[in-house]
Chains A and B, each alone.
Chain A
Amino acid sequence: MARVRVGVFVCHCGSNIGGVVRVPEVVDYARELPLVRYAEDNLYTCSDAGLGSIKQMIAEHGLNRVVVASCTPRTHEELFRRNCEEAGLNRYLFEFVNLREHCSWIHLHEPDSATSKAKELVRLGVAKASRLAPLEMARAPVRPAALVIGGGVAGLAAAGSLGDQGFEVHLVEREQRLGGIAAGLWKLLPGDLEAAKLVSSLTRRVEDSERITVHLGSTVSSVSGFVGAFDVELATPEGPQTVEVGTVIVATGAKELEPLGLYRLGELDGVVTQLGLEQRFRDAEGLGGDVVVINCAGARGPEREYCGRLCCAVSIKNARHLRELDPSRRVTVLQRDVMAMGTLFEAEYRAAKKAGVRFVRYDPSRPPEILGDGRVNGVRVYHSVIGEERVLDASTVVLTTPLVGQDEAPELSKMLKVPLDGDGFFLEAHVKLRPVEFATDGVFIAGAARFPSNIRESVSQGKAAAAKAAAPMTAGEVAVEATTASTDQRLCSGCSNCERTCPFGAVSVEPDRDGRPVSSVNPVICKGCGACVPACPCGAIQQLGFTDSQIFAMVESLAHDREEAAG
């Protein structure tokens, strides 16, 4: 291989790094390090100017290793790797040094020690970079089939869209019917569209598609594999069934909180949740006399801090329905704030007031009290605007409660290796840039599984997730990270430690041509954790990009630095 020629690019990141670390001093230091042929500083290495300069210097100085000392590889590694590739350098001949999150930002008031630390970090980066080898990414085929978990509106939209695009879809629904929460609603905003009509139009599209298989009353019991080749075990009423797909969409939705005991729910007849009210509307059940609606029930408190997002609109809509069904009935919505965002909901709020719905603000530190014995006969509330206590007649109390994460979400999160947030909803890869993707390749998210979303949002997200899932399935293959394990069979003693250590079944020990057992790694299955490396007594198995020689070089470089500092 050609002689190693390292280029070092140290980023000021505006003043983020340069305001603490004396960047020009780090560049001077880097220039003197062994095998470094070129070093410069950039105001922003990730800018067009910075990236262009890297390319230019690769050509001018014949650089064959690039070290960028800037922010975190977790956000910028791909950008710099691609930039190297565009300059004709293998993408794995790049090494990242973190001077921002791991240095300037955590040593804001110590410019001297931050500068020496930055030099050391650059030195470690150069030590590793000098030992990097070019790697090739394997290509893995992607099955043109998707698993959609959850048959609510988000799942239906996703499945329908994927079916239309010609992919095979397995739609798994826990219940015996499709439609999720929407299937239990009466009339929807805007225009009081009948929920049943909407659900049946989404459902028909899925049921009529030859490419979509609907598994009702079914759940996912295990998932193995990776993007392009997920093997999924389903528990169906007919027994276990395996489906083979390339991508997975999580559309498991959320459930309405039923806070038993709160406002005497479950104790008194006449206390229902909003979904309970929708059911009564659907059944055309008489609701009797006056109704009091209590918003933010179980939300925006110490136990559950978030706002339920949909609740205000739901309460406004249903309060109006209550008045329209019986104009002699008094309907009072007890609220903390009315969050009627946008043109549509603001108009609905006005319409509800015009229809005679009263909105009364309550103080969460003096919550309303439900009166009655056996059944509701009134609500005592401290009217926080007037500053007086009032007793409202009521035969029904409706609790507007937030959507909460599904009970099964933690289990599914483990199966798919995707995270949950503190409230039990799934967490996407990036809140703004990757809103329907998980960090795990090939797994996507849509609808209320992420956060309480209305039907319009859930359908949009279902379609968005379908579009993202379609990308690798249309391409037919994905590039697989090349930093996998790899066995040097000449050194392998065939002990099988690596095979036993691998949780993914990527390593197998089988006889070679001479009948001698040797280890080999399937780079498409290998996830690149490197756990097998320390298990090998011979040093035969290495993780590419994180080899022993590279890591030992960093350790030695650090020990050497220390001597220099001491001396």
Chain B
Amino acid sequence: MSDFEPTILVFACNWCSYAGADMAGVSRFQMPPNCRVVRVMCSARVRPEQVISALAQGIDGVLILGCHPGDCHYAEGNYHTRRRALMLERLLDTLGLERERFQVSWVSAAEGAKFAETIRAVVDEIRALGPNTLGRAADAG
């Protein structure tokens, strides 16, 4: 189990966080290769079912990144994200999943360093949790 490397799905909004991820790349900030960034135009596009579906299929963690509150390119999309995230967290409890497996953070287009720090922190946390057994249990069943 010590060599466990989690797979983490990252939804990043086009305007802030995807650009922040680009900035991390341009700045050559190094980070663990566990994350796969999927671009959406706004973090509010992410359907809670998509998060649940990812975790149910055994993906070890899901991270949603959006613009900072007040800075949404679409005025208020990230407020929807924030509210939906609160609801999702409770749902994770019901499903018996650790809350750390789903996280939301705000990364602006200029915050390449914050993007890298966030990825490192999330990978460390989920690596420490171990594999997501929900997907495995489902497979076995």
Chain A residues in contact with chain B, CB under 8 A? Answer: 72-74, 98, 100-103, 105-110, 113-114, 116-117, 120-121, 124, 417, 483, 501, 503-504, 527-531, 533-535, 543, 546, 548, 551-552, 554-556, 558-559, 561-563, 565
Contact = CB atoms under 8 A, between A and B. Distances in A.
29 contacts: A103-B33, A106-B25, A106-B29, A106-B31, A107-B33, A110-B33, A114-B33, A117-B36, A120-B36, A501-B80, A503-B74, A503-B75, A503-B77, A529-B45, A531-B45, A534-B44, A534-B45, A534-B47, A534-B48, A546-B40, A548-B50, A551-B38, A556-B57, A558-B9, A558-B54, A558-B59, A562-B58, A563-B58, A563-B139
Contacts of A121: 36
Which of B31, B38, B135, B139 gathers most chain A CB within 10 Å?
Answer: B38
A500 to B, nearest CB: 11
Interface in B24-78: 24-26, 28-31, 33, 36-42, 44-48, 50, 53-54, 57-59, 73-77
A31 B14 CA distance: 29
B22 interface: yes
B116 A106 contact: yes
B105 to A, nearest CB: 17
Contacts of B122: none
B7 A562 contact: yes
B126 interface: no
Contact of B7 (A103, A529, A551, A558): A558
Interface string B125-141: 00000000001000100
A107 B29 CA distance: 9
Which of A110, A417, A565 gathers most chain B CB within 10 Å?
Answer: A417
Nearest to A125: B38
Nearest to A72: B22
A555 B21 contact: no
B40 A108 contact: no
Nearest to B25: A101
Given A74-B19, A529-B77, A100 B54 contact: no
Contact of B18 (A74, A535, A562): A74
Contacts of A558: 7, 9, 36, 54, 59
Which of B36, B57, B59 gathers most chain A CB within 10 Å?
Answer: B36
Contacts of A105: 25-26, 28
